[in-house]
Structure 1
Amino acid sequence: MHTSTKVQPRTFFGQPMALAYLSFTEAWERFSYYGMTSILVLYMSQALLTPGHVEGIVGFTSFRAALESVFGSMTTLALASQIMGLYTGLVYFTPVLGGWVADRWIGRRTAVMLGAVMMSAGHLAMAFDASFLLALFLLITGCGLLKGNISTQVGELYAETDGEGRTRAFAIFSVGINVGAVLGPLLVGLLAQLYGWHAGFGLAGALMLIGLITYIAGFRYLPADRPRATPTVTKAPLDRRQWRIVVALGLVSAITIFQSIGYYQNTNMNLVWINRSVDLDLLGFHVPVAWFNSIDPLASILGVPVLLALWRFQAARGSEPDDLGKIGTGAWLTMLANLLLVTACLISARANVLFPIIYDILLGIGFLYYWPTLLALVSRAAPAKLKATLMGAVFLTLFVSNTIIGWLGGFYEHMTPAGFWAMHAGIAATGGVLAFVLKRPLKRALEIT
């Protein structure tokens, strides 16, 4: 008697195999990005923008004049903060355009690959003073093509009705982000301390190429690109219900701007504060400042299984927070993290190293509450014809947040450190208040039960 055994498809922690390749691609991309950003503001303020170096940057005189025509005259530190804010903001603005280009012309697969190539070239260009502005352009453009589209591919692995599956997938996907975010500052920061700034930037570029190879290796598992419209095809306009959902998603996304300001300042002025005001000597070793940017993503990695278990426990008892509740919780945790730095500043002019460590742990858990939840909500609720564009638009909130962060960094030299971090605690708390006040009308608009 002949019996046949059905071969079960391979899975990745019970999820489609495509999620593994997308997560590892994102991990390598985040490795290079967070590694580079962990040293960027210190590199600019301590080396690149100082006399003897700044003159060698091609086109920088005109670039600085343009910035100061908008933001006014800036010190070296304020200029470094503003460039940092604009750069980190623009790498999240361009996914709006990247999603639009992919939806209408080149498809998501091509967009992700082209973006990875441009980002690799940008990181390598960052290894030289003269090509600094070219490097920023390549990184910003490449990120626009990669970011929104790869997140959209994660959402397309699941049925529209599988909200729980999508939320778990984006939580796993965020682990890939955070693995790269942990390793990037550790290795790039150490390499920069031992061998110089440009060695760190060069490593970031090489590892971005590995991300491209990983993505290509997983091609056979990836969801097929949705057929693109031709000029002869007229898409039906959005109906009233769909427009209501789009507006509601925009409002939810806007709420997260406040906690993002409180969160992402840890890659800008927080590194300057640590460098100036925290005792970094440990057993004869001077801890690289960049290493602190590995703590919050590590907290997010370790927190994923704990939070998933907590949410399953709460769901079984009917008490799991809904999407707006989780986003609000993320805001309150971000507020607490910034209040901790206020306490550190008030206790001593030279803070104990435990304060920034606990600060980053709180930020990492807060991130898990609000950011994967927002991505899953948009992926699930957005009208199909605008899904990639709206996923890109989610990253527009980070453009606004980081641009404001760069501007706020200019106040650091004119405020006490305690006042500076208290301001950020208040900003994060605003997001928590708005999530609470607008919870019911937004749930109705988004048809969340």
Structure 2
Amino acid sequence: MSQNTSDQFFKDSVLGHPAGLFVLFFTEMWERFSYYGMRALLVLFLTSSLAKGGWAWSIEDALALYGTYTMSVYFTPVIGGFLADRYLGYRWAVILGALAMTLGHASMAVETPLFLYIGIGCLIVGNGLFKPNMTSIISNAYESHPEKKDGAYSLYYMGVNAGAFLGIMLCGYIGEKISWSWGFGLAGIFMFFGMLQFYFTQNIFGDIGLKPTLASKQESKEKAAKENLAPNIVRDRIIAVLIFSIFTVFFWAAFEQAGGSMTIFAEKFTQRELFGSSATLFKIADTILTIVPLLIITYVLIKLFSKTFKKYSTGNLILSLSFLIIWGIVLWKVGREFNAVGTEVPATWFGILNSLFIVVFAPVFSKWWESKYNLSGPMKFGLGLTLLGLGFGFLAYGSMGIDTDSVIRVSMFWLIAAYLFHTLGELCISPVGLSYVSKLVPPAWIGIMFGVYYLFIGMGNKLAGSMGGMIETITAQYSLTTFFLIFTIVPIGAGLIMILLSPLMKKLMHGVK
């Protein structure tokens, strides 16, 4: 990528970053809306009774499918990154991936076993094309501004979690309260909007992400040749990426309990039925938690419009329409809840806390990573794993005395505290990991190495499903506290090891900060 292309990308600024970053922000937001909206429903739908419209699967079988699905969506980015690097270009990979995911969500809305597996297959393929290449576009755009990458990825990650917040809240609510089909279908509608918004606004990226040409391939070879002038440095940095990747397995194996065992804990063992003043207070709090983040995201949308509407009116109009629909659904949901007597908090509701905390804390962490108090990459990873373990400590303590036959239902506080600490840990690892891959890997290998990084995340997701499926067995033999203690001790231990490895990691990174 030429210096001029990078400078052009940085010409129009929104909130201190290029307007193009926020095009990616909203595209990724709708993709995550669809992914997390579906993920929030999948296990509950499969394990719910036939009377409730579910399929009455066992928890073990449901979490096995969940783990395989969440693993696979991180395995296919290796292929998607390769295809984009060599043939498609990042932009067309994103567009085709979004189209495949739209078809996948539509298939799941049919609610038959055949279409369930067809839908999951489309989602896996689509995600493989979409996920690594969105981050590759950012990496290329910020190639001449590496000092701003951590902040850029943190803001991008805010978009990721804004989508997750809205998807879990709306798809989860509609799926549990109205219809599973409508919940799954809503995820596909907004994936389609995200694809159209990206397609009609893609020229904002200049030459970034276009199909490879002979000239661009030659440029990549020249860059690779320059890197090969110092093969020991390249080797050491790749080793550093692989070490970071190994530790992400420990993180995601625990963190992804959110879509499995933590959802089961919310459904079976958390007091969610509220009446009288408690119900009223929750409805008020839920309304504030819903409206305020949406107002913040709408403000970002308006700032983007001020810079891009004249040049990219079609893409912006599509984005406007999607937000009008979101506001309509949100206001309908709020009105419906206030007209009801009492309330039962949906089990999926707790999943929005992670996204809410991300939206609140991502700007703070972004500023922290750009300040003189910035931590090294290994220290961020160590801190993130430790915070994750502490979050499970709240669940281990809150679940004391609960067994498989227990009718005890505990306070929502334990889940809220767990999600807070998990979120703080996530901010230290997930966006930072993406940033460090982009800084440590030679430019010619960016797409495929993002795919390799996601491969390790996929391993963590599969472990999450396998380990989460043991919740009933471990609870029956020992206790629910024992189950959550495993996820307390292992991440904290891994975090301490990473902190001890910090001096070695700095040497392997050869000056990359």
Name the TM-score, length of structure 1 as normaliser: 0.88
Q: Is the 8 A contact 1:341 1:421 kept in 2?
A: yes
**Alpha-carbon distance in 1 for matches of 2:187, 2:100:** 13
Q: Which residue of 2 aligns with 1:189?
A: 172
Q: Is the 8 A contact 2:386 2:492 kept in 1?
A: yes
Change (3 A) 1:53 1:304: closer
RMSD of equivalent CA atoms: 2.3
Match of 1:79 among 61, 79, 88: 61
**Alpha-carbon distance in 2 for matches of 1:45, 1:228:** 50
Change (3 A) 1:182 1:333: same
Aligned to 1:156, the other structure's residue is in SS state: helix
**Alpha-carbon distance in 1 for matches of 2:176, 2:465:** 24
Residue 400 of structure 1 and its aligned partner are, at CA, apart by: 0.3
Aligned to 2:141, the other structure's residue is in SS state: coil
Q: Is the 8 A contact 2:45 2:55 kept in 1?
A: no
Residue 163 of structure 1 and its aligned partner are, at CA, apart by: 2.9
* Gap runs ≥5 in structure 2: 1-9, 280-341, 403-407
Match of 1:402 among 448, 458, 461: 461
1:290 and 2:353 matched: no
Q: Is the 8 A contact 1:103 1:228 kept in 2?
A: no
Q: Is the 8 A contact 1:296 1:362 kept in 2?
A: no
Match of 1:139 among 104, 123, 127: 123
**Alpha-carbon distance in 1 for matches of 2:53, 2:269:** 25
Match of 2:435 among 369, 373, 376: 376
Change (3 A) 1:79 1:149: same
Match of 2:210 among 225, 237, 240: 225
Structure 1 segment 83-162 matched on structure 2, within 5 A: 83-130=65-112, 131-160=115-144, 162=145
Match of 1:261 among 253, 269, 285: 253
- Alpha-carbon deviations, 1:241-299, whole Å to 9, x = none? 21221122111111121122221111111101110000001222001111111101110
> Structure 1 vs Structure 2: percent identity of aligned residues?
29
Aligned to 2:76, the other structure's residue is in SS state: helix
**Alpha-carbon distance in 2 for matches of 1:266, 1:36:** 13
Residue 76 of structure 1 and its aligned partner are, at CA, apart by: 1.7
* Gap runs ≥5 in structure 1: 1-7, 55-74
Residue 320 of structure 1 and its aligned partner are, at CA, apart by: 2.5
1:33 and 2:35 matched: yes
- Alpha-carbon deviations, 1:146-198, whole Å to 9, x = none? 000001101111135x3330111000100100100101111011111222111
**Alpha-carbon distance in 2 for matches of 1:229, 1:385:** 14
Residue 437 of structure 1 and its aligned partner are, at CA, apart by: 2.3
Provide the aligned length of Structure 1 versus Structure 2.
416
**Alpha-carbon distance in 2 for matches of 1:24, 1:360:** 24
1:241 and 2:219 matched: no
Q: Which residue of 2 aligns with 1:328?
A: 382
Match of 2:395 among 331, 341, 349: 341
Match of 2:262 among 265, 270, 283: 270
Aligned to 2:20, the other structure's residue is in SS state: helix
Q: Which residue of 2 aligns with 1:60?
A: none
Residue 398 of structure 1 and its aligned partner are, at CA, apart by: 1.6
Q: Which residue of 2 aligns with 1:427?
A: 490
Residue 224 of structure 1 and its aligned partner are, at CA, apart by: 4.1
Q: Is the 8 A contact 2:97 2:128 kept in 1?
A: yes
**Alpha-carbon distance in 2 for matches of 1:241, 1:299:** 38
Aligned to 2:409, the other structure's residue is in SS state: coil
Change (3 A) 1:41 1:380: same
